[in-house]
């Protein structure tokens, strides 16, 4: 079946550090892949997406590349800010039943 696995958090970094949050997936076919972000006490916001192999999604300095050969969609940012502190969710769109399949979320803490 379809599934998404994210690295466990919390991930704690200093401001201006390089960020990587790992996400791997299991799916049949060619699912669309997403990163959503949830700031404290809020709902989720779409951060970026990619719909086919080798696509790179990017937004607000974050980027992720759809790697079919490694079934991965790792989130990266070159220089994080305190305001990036949030929970990040990786997800895939399952065409088979038109549902989003979610990872467990990774909490990111950025210290000044």
Partner 1 sequence: DGGITQSPKYLFRKEGQNVTLSCEQNLNHDAMYWYRQDPGQGLRLIYYSQIVNDFQKGDIAEGYSVSREKKESFPLTVTSAQKNPTAFYLCASSISPTVDEQYFGPGTRLTVT
Residues that bind partner 1 (CB under 8 A): 4, 32, 34, 36, 41-46, 49, 89, 93, 98-100, 102-105
We find the least distance from the C-beta atom of residue 39 to partner 1, in angstroms, to be 10
- The residue among 13 and 87 lying less far from partner 1, judged by its C-beta, is 87
Q: Please state, in angstroms and rounded to a whole number, the distance separating the CA atoms of residues 65 and 68.
A: 9
We find the least distance from the C-beta atom of residue 26 to partner 1, in angstroms, to be 14
- The residue among 76 and 95 lying less far from partner 1, judged by its C-beta, is 95
23: which residues sit within 8 A by CB, 6+ positions away?
4, 5, 6, 7, 33, 35, 64, 72, 73, 74, 75, 90, 103
Rg (alpha carbons) of the chain, rounded to whole number: 13
We find the least distance from the C-beta atom of residue 97 to partner 1, in angstroms, to be 10
């Amino acid at each position: 079946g379809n599934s998404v696995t994210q690295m466990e958090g919390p991930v704690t970094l200093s401001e201006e550090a390089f960020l990587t949050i790992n996400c791997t997936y299991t799916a049949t076919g060619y699912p669309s892949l997403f990163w959503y972000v949830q700031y404290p006490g809020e709902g989720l916001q779409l951060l970026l997406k990619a719909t086919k192999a080798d696509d790179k999604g990017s937004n607000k300095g974050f980027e992720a590349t759809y790697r079919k050969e490694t079934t991965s969609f790792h989130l990266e940012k070159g220089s994080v800010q305190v305001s990036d502190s949030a929970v990040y969710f990786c997800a895939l769109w399952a065409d088979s039943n038109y549902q989003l399949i979610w990872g467990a979320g990774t909490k990111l803490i950025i210290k000044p």
